[in-house]
């Protein structure tokens, strides 16, 4: 089978890497030919992470993709990451369906809220139902969690399959805990998700007054104003596991809004893949991933976050047990090997 992927980014983009690129070796091992055509290149992504707008790069990507649409009939299957053209009505997806292209579309974020909850009333009016149309016209919707799947079902999608975001556990190592200080609280993300960490600044400050702690921030350079405990670590695919292995607990704070309900708990799954206990906001898929007092804790407010940290600081045995439970849990439910056959089935049908 010849498969054409219209991803949003290159392998450097987390969503594209995890929802598409990491499956390519398995798909090819089954005799398939995979061709991938990202919308945006590495230079565009670098500008995005730096908070800059690359209008020329964006326009170039749109033009290139437009002409690539004329090649879709050379392939047996077309897989689209989220949408063909952001902020343009679903005209091209409608045309593909009209010409009998039974495309697959994949979601790991609630991008429909980019449109139906956009602050600009014109965008909201014109594009509020765009993603519903993309889903409805597809042959299959692959959703990263139940919130996304429910949207697809309500949109009238013909076939909806839930496949969570997973990790290749062969790349991960299990942390060996020691009694060394300081106790490391870790977070991994990007400049755009750093905002979720900011509300915990008072908690970190209070903890640091009475305990030897460090805060490792991977993938973002903005400061929380706590220079005595902050350590900023650049992200790369090659070093991310080594960075996580420095953590004693991994955290995933979130705001409780419709957008966050579409997230697929990837940070938690990464921490768990290293056998590290977790603390997270009880939002969206986090409540499915975190089993209270089995592999971590859910925290809603500052007091609950503080108590969760103190629990691990004073109970190393339970910290290690939760970490061990996590490594087993991920292997069975959120590993690449546990998902790849179902993924291939969803693509092939």
Provide the 8-state DSSP code for 221: -
Q: For position 218, which CATH number holds?
A: 3.40.50.2000
Neighbouring C-beta atoms of residue 70, cutoff 10 Å? 8
Please state, in angstroms and rounded to a whole number, the distance separating the CA atoms of residues 258 and 277. Answer: 26
Helix boundaries (H) for 7-143: 14-19, 24-29, 42-49, 55-68, 91-98, 113-116, 121-127, 130-137
What phi-psi label fits residue 100: left (phi over 0), alpha (psi between -120 and 50 degrees) or beta? left
Residue 42 has pLDDT above 90, yes or no: no
Determine the average pLDDT of the residues in 158-169.
Answer: 97
Can you give the residue range of the structural domain that contains 31? Answer: 2-166+336-348
Give strand ranges (E) for 126-254.
Answer: 140-143, 160-162, 183-188, 213-218, 230-233, 249-252
Q: Give yes or no: residues 34 and 183 share one domain.
A: no
Contacts of 261 (CB under 8 A, 6+ apart): 110, 147, 283, 284
Q: Give yes or no: residues 75 and 219 share one domain.
A: no
Q: Give yes or no: residues 145 and 240 share one domain.
A: no
Q: Give yes or no: residues 98 and 237 share one domain.
A: no
- Residues 135-146: tens digit of each pLDDT: 999 999 999 999
pLDDT at residue 45 in the model:
80
Residue 326 has pLDDT above 90, yes or no: yes
Determine the average pLDDT of the residues in 53-58.
Answer: 83
Strand pairing report for 213-218 and 140-143: unpaired
pLDDT at residue 43 in the model:
85
CB 151 within 8 A of CB 159: no
Sign of CA dihedral 310, 315, 316, 319: negative
Q: Give yes or no: residues 126 and 204 share one domain.
A: no
Q: Give yes or no: residues 317 and 198 share one domain.
A: yes
Q: How many domains does the chain have?
A: 2
Q: Give yes or no: residues 125 and 180 share one domain.
A: no
Q: Give yes or no: residues 24 and 149 share one domain.
A: yes
Neighbouring C-beta atoms of residue 182, cutoff 10 Å? 13
Instruction: Please tell me which residue, 104 or 55, carries the higher pLDDT value.
Output: 104
- The helix-helix angle for 55-68 and 42-49 (nearest 10°) equals 140
Q: How confident is the model at residue 53 (pLDDT cuts 50, 70, 90)?
A: confident
Q: Give yes or no: residues 157 and 20 share one domain.
A: yes
Instruction: Please tell me which residue, 45 or 318, carries the higher pLDDT value.
Output: 318
pLDDT at residue 83 in the model:
98
Q: How confident is the model at residue 339 (pLDDT cuts 50, 70, 90)?
A: very high
Q: How confident is the model at residue 51 (pLDDT cuts 50, 70, 90)?
A: confident
pLDDT at residue 185 in the model:
98
- Residues 210-255: tens digit of each pLDDT: 999 999 999 999 999 999 999 999 999 999 999 999 999 999 999 9
Q: Give yes or no: residues 80 and 188 share one domain.
A: no
Residue 57 has pLDDT above 90, yes or no: no
- Residues 257-273: tens digit of each pLDDT: 999 999 999 999 999 99
pLDDT at residue 54 in the model:
77
Q: Give yes or no: residues 144 and 230 share one domain.
A: no
Q: What percent of the chain has pLDDT above 90?
A: 92
Q: Give yes or no: residues 242 and 294 share one domain.
A: yes
């Amino acid at each position: 089978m010849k498969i054409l992927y219209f991803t949003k980014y290159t392998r450097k983009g987390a969503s594209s890497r995890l929802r598409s690129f990491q499956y390519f070796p398995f798909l090819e091992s089954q005799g398939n030919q995979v061709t991938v055509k990202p919308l945006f290149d590495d230079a565009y992504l670098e500008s995005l992470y730096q908070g800059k707008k690359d209008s020329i790069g964006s326009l170039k990507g749109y033009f290139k993709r437009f002409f690539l649409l004329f090649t879709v009939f050379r392939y047996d299957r077309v897989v689209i990451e989220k949408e063909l053209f952001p902020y343009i009505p679903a005209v091209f997806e409608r045309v593909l369906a009209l010409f009998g292209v039974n495309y697959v579309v994949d979601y790991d974020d609630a991008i429909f809220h980019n449109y139906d909850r956009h602050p600009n009333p014109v965008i909201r009016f014109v594009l509020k139902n765009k993603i519903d149309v993309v889903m409805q016209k597809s042959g299959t919707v692959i959703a990263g969690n139940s919130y996304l799947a429910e949207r697809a079902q309500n949109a009238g999608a013909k076939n909806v399959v839930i496949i969570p975001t997973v990790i290749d556990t062969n790349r991960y190592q299990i942390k060996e805990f020691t009694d060394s200080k300081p106790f490391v609280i870790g977070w991994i993300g990007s400049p755009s998700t750093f905002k979720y960490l900011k509300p915990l600044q008072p908690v970190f400050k209070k903890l640091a007054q009475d305990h030897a702690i460090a805060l490792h921030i991977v993938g973002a350079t903005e400061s929380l104003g706590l220079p005595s405990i902050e350590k900023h670590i650049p992200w790369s695919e090659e070093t991310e596991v080594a960075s996580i292995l420095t953590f004693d607990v991994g955290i995933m704070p979130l705001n409780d809004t419709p957008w966050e309900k579409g997230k697929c708990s990837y940070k938690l799954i990464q921490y768990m893949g290293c056998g590290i206990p977790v603390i997270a906001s009880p939002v969206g898929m986090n409540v499915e991933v975190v089993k209270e007092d089995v592999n971590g804790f859910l925290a809603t407010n500052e007091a609950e976050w503080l108590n969760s940290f103190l629990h691990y600081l004073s109970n190393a045995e339970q910290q290690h047990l939760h970490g061990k439970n996590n490594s087993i849990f991920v292997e069975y439910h959120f590993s690449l090997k546990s998902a790849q056959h179902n993924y291939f089935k969803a693509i092939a049908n």
